[in-house]
């Protein structure tokens, strides 16, 4: 796990190597173990290394092929690299790591090598003979890759801050992405919060040379590359168990101390149980709050005792957690309404000497752990809603919200106003933070089309490639392609790497994902949360774990924002008020409603704006 940087200029470079050195320095926290640069007449590549596999100096990067023609910078891990290496035995290997295997596979198979890799990655390979640059990102978007492109130059990095710090791009806030951020506490890829800076999409490659320019290709898609599963319940359960166990086993490859995050929930408990099946001893880590109202400690302890893990309880008070929030935000590479939780547990885990940990991220999205997996099918089954014409539903929806005045009623109002109840029309409201009528008052620019709607429509809408998936699988794809990729994975990466900790996510093994997406709804139907997962692994976890109410990582942000963090929040909101197309009076109204406890505005609606204000100030962004 590392950080990569590069600047490529088609006709020959006119920039100094020191710029990429500065990019390296910006993301030093991603790779505290080693750094390196490569430069020639067209390109400069930079790398910061967090050594997990083959920590010897020979595996430091940028990494050159045996003949010197190819140079690579690589971020991530290839879990099946030993298997691939055995298939490419004729290559003259100089190291024992996965980096050189990626390069050997590319030399032999070109971009088709990507189909061989099981892992998480973002890498760039420079062909110094053909003057061609090849960049790729993993299938599920676990590792980030940002870029800024002009007619003759490409700047790319694992970090948007590294690109901003080159001094080669305008630090301009994107008005369109600001709307997206206000809606969803994030910006959906490929766009970012900065005008002109983009993300390479999951499962996508970018090839650049002077003759052909820039070519993008998609080598994997969840809506195309899924596997149609058996209709036998016992066969499916056995296959799920086997594939998840194999995924965990692959992710245990490391040459440094490692462990697992253990919250006491279903996902992390199953991961720890499968680790215990394959290891003599497992190190587990839990954040334990001194205040019982916020602690899941008893459930984590139950799993730790059952599997005799070397359990580390990281005891914090909510006040200690609160005090770490400003530090967490200072490491935030791209603004987001989430993240400090992962920062705290990563920080304490790294301080315990661990450099890699397994996480249960992805289990909810893949196996139906959220209420959306029940609510959308139930709403679509209410055929009587269609009997009320659109022109009747619209005013009734307004009256309903007027009486209730809650966040939930605002979403119900928008759903009832819809002409269609297809997934993409309904889903766009489930993850929405500020509603459009609130945003219209906050900004003077026209509202842009809803990006969540467009993503889901293009992936799994009527007559698209994803229409062949079962309805529940289409919801999984919607969750993975919006909330998971652009909030959970982005935050997990930036907050863990802020502490030099690598996170591995077994539930996002592409072979497991492809299989589960092909399982029939009759088998997968979530009568209880993640029923298929639980039934496939029921012997691994006690009933007290899978039958308890989902708690999550809930802390008293509302109280903090009104009391201890109030002045901090107001300071960040002042930054937003100075942007000429944001209405300061309307922002003040929202803040005052929140302070007064108005039921239409919760802390989670304001916190993303606080984070954005801090991020703009910290990175000197021009609004």
Q: Parse the chain into domains and list their residue ranges.
A: 2-218, 221-389+432-555, 557-618
- Would you say domain 221-389+432-555 falls under CATH 3.40.50.620? yes
Question: Which region among 26-40, 62-76, 385-399 has the lowest average model confidence (pLDDT)?
Answer: 385-399
Task: Classify domain 2-218 at the CATH class level.
Answer: alpha beta
Angle at 131 between CA 163 and CA 153, to 5 degrees: 30
Give how far Cα 300 sits from Cα of 306, 509, 528, 603, Å.
10, 24, 21, 28
- Cβ contacts of 29 within 8 Å, gap of 6 or more: 331, 497, 498, 499, 500
C-alpha distances out from residue 456 to 426, 465, 466, Å: 10, 11, 10
| Cβ–Cβ under 8 Å, residues 349 and 261 | yes
What is the C-alpha to C-alpha distance for residues 580 and 592, in angstroms, rounded to an integer? 21
CB atoms within 10 A of CB 329: 20
Q: Lowest-confidence range among 10-24, 30-44, 156-170, 410-424?
A: 410-424
pLDDT given for residue 59 in this prediction: 81
pTM for this predicted structure: 0.94
Which residue in the block uniquely carries the two structure tokens 């914090």?
316
CA distances from 281 to 266, 358, 558 (A): 20, 14, 40
Confidence check: pLDDT of 26 > 70: yes
Neighbours of 252 (CB within 10 A): 17
Q: Is the pLDDT of residue 291 over 70?
A: no
Residue among 155, 251, 249 at smallest CA distance from 194: 155
Contacts 24+ apart (CB under 8 A), 177-181: 178/443, 179/439, 179/443, 179/445, 179/447, 179/448, 180/448, 180/451, 181/335, 181/608, 181/612
Query: Which pLDDT band holds residue 294 (cuts at 50, 70, 90)?
Result: low
Q: For position 446, what pLDDT does the model report?
A: 92
The kind and range of the H/E element at 310 are strand 310-316
The pLDDT-based confidence of 293 (bands split at 50, 70, 90) is: low
Helix (H, G, I), strand (E, B) or coil at 194: strand
Q: What is the pLDDT of residue 551?
A: 58
Say how far apart CA 404 and CA 406 lie, in whole Å.
6
Among 241-245, 337-341, 343-347, 577-581, name the one with the lowest average pLDDT.
337-341
* H or E stretch covering 43: strand 43-49
Query: Tell me, what's the pLDDT at 392?
Result: 67
Query: Which of 33-37, 70-74, 186-190 is predicted with the least confidence, judged by mean pLDDT?
Result: 33-37
**pLDDT of amino acid 208:** 95
Residue 368 has a pLDDT of 95
Mean pLDDT of the 289-314 span? 84
pLDDT at 295: 65
- In the chain, what percentage of residues exceed pLDDT 70? 95
Distance CA 347, CA 539 (A): 32
Contact between 38 and 45 (Cβ < 8 Å)? yes
Give the rounded percent of residues in the chain with a pLDDT score beyond 90. Answer: 72
Angstrom distances, CA of residue 373 to CA of 219, 308, 524, 582:
28, 35, 11, 36
Query: 314, 313, 311: which is closest to 324 by C-alpha?
Result: 314
Structure confidence by residue, pLDDT tens digits, 378-426: 888 875 566 566 666 666 666 656 666 678 877 877 887 787 888 999 9
Q: Taking residues 424-451, report their average pLDDT.
A: 95
Structure tokens at 179: 């709307």
User: Residue 553 pLDDT > 70, yes or no?
Assistant: no
Q: Which residue has the higher pLDDT, 443 or 550?
A: 443
Q: Which of 59-63, 234-238, 477-481 has the lowest mean pLDDT?
A: 59-63
> Average model confidence (pLDDT) for the chain?
91
Position with higher pLDDT, 87 vs 225 = 87
**Angle between helices 603-618 and 175-184 in degrees, nearest 10:** 150
Query: In the predicted model, is pLDDT for residue 289 greater than 80?
Result: no
Position 298 scores a pLDDT of 86
């Amino acid at each position: 796990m590392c950080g990569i940087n590069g600047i490529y200029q088609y006709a020959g470079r006119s920039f100094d190597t020191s710029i990429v050195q500065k990019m390296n320095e910006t993301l030093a926290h991603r790779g505290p173990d080693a750094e390196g640069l490569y430069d020639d007449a067209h390109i400069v590549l930079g790398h910061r290394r967090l050594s997990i596999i083959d920590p010897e100096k020979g595996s430091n990067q940028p990494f050159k092929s045996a003949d010197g023609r190819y140079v690579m910078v690589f971020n991530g891990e290839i879990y099946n690299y030993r298997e691939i290496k055995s298939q490419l035995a004729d290559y003259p290997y100089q190291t024992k790591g996965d980096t050189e295997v990626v390069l050997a596979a590319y030399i032999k198979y070109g971009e088709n090598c990507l189909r061989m890799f099981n892992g998480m990655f973002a890498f760039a390979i420079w062909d110094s003979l053909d003057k061609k640059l090849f960049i790729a990102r993993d299938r599920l978007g676990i590792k980030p890759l940002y870029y800024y492109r002009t007619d003759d130059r490409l700047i790319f990095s694992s970090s948007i801050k590294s690109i901003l710090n080159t001094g080669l791009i305008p630090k301009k806030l994107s008005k369109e992405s600001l709307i997206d951020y206000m809606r969803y506490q994030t910006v959906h890829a490929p766009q970012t919060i900065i005008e002109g800076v983009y993300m390479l999409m999951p499962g996508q490659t970018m090839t650049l040379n002077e003759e052909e320019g820039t070519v993008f290709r998609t080598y994997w898609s969840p809506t195309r590359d899924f596997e149609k599963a058996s209709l036998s319940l016992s066969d499916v359960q056995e296959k799920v168990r086997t594939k998840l166990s194999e995924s965990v086993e692959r992710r245990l490859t490391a040459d440094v101390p490692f462990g697992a995050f253990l919250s006491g929930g279903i996902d992390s408990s199953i991961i720890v149980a499968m680790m215990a099946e394959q290891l003599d001893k497992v190190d587990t880590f839990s954040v334990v709050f001194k205040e019982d109202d916020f602690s899941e400690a008893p459930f984590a302890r139950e799993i730790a005792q059952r599997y005799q893990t070397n359990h580390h309880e990281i005891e914090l008070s909510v006040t200690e957690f609160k005090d770490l929030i400003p530090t967490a935000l200072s490491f935030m590479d791209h603004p987001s309404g989430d993240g400090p939780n992962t920062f705290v547990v990563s920080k304490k885990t790294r301080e315990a000497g661990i450099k890699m940990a397994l996480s249960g991220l992805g289990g909810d999205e893949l196996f139906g752990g959220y209420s959306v997996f029940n609510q959308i099918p139930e709403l679509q089954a209410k055929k009587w809603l269609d009997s009320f014409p659109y022109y009747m539903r619209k005013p009734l929806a307004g009256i309903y919200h007027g009486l209730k005045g809650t966040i939930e009623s605002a979403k119900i109002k928008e759903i009832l106003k819809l002409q269609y109840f297809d997934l993409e029309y309904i889903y766009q409201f489930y993850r929405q933070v500020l509603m459009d009528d609130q945003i219209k008052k906050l900004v003077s620019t026209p509202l842009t089309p809803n990006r969540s709607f467009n993503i889901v429509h293009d992936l799994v809408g009527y007559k698209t490639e994803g229409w062949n998936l079962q309805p529940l699988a289409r919801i999984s794809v919607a969750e993975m392609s919006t909330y998971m990729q652009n909030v959970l994975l982005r935050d997990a990466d930036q907050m863990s790497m802020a502490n030099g900790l690598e996170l591995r996510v077994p539930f996002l093994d592409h072979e497991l994902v492809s299989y589960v997406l092909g399982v029939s709804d009759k088998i997968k139907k979530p009568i209880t949360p993640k029923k298929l997962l639980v039934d496939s692994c029921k012997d691994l976890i006690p009933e007290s774990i899978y039958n308890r109410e989902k708690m999550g990582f809930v802390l008293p942000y509302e109280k903090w924002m009104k009391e201890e963090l109030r002045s901090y929040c107001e300071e960040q909101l002042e930054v937003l008020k100075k942007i000429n197309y944001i209405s300061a009076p309307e922002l003040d109204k929202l803040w005052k409603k929140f302070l007064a406890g108005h039921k239409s505005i919760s802390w989670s609606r304001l916190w993303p704006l606080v984070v954005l204000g801090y991020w703009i100030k910290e990175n000197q962004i021009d609004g």
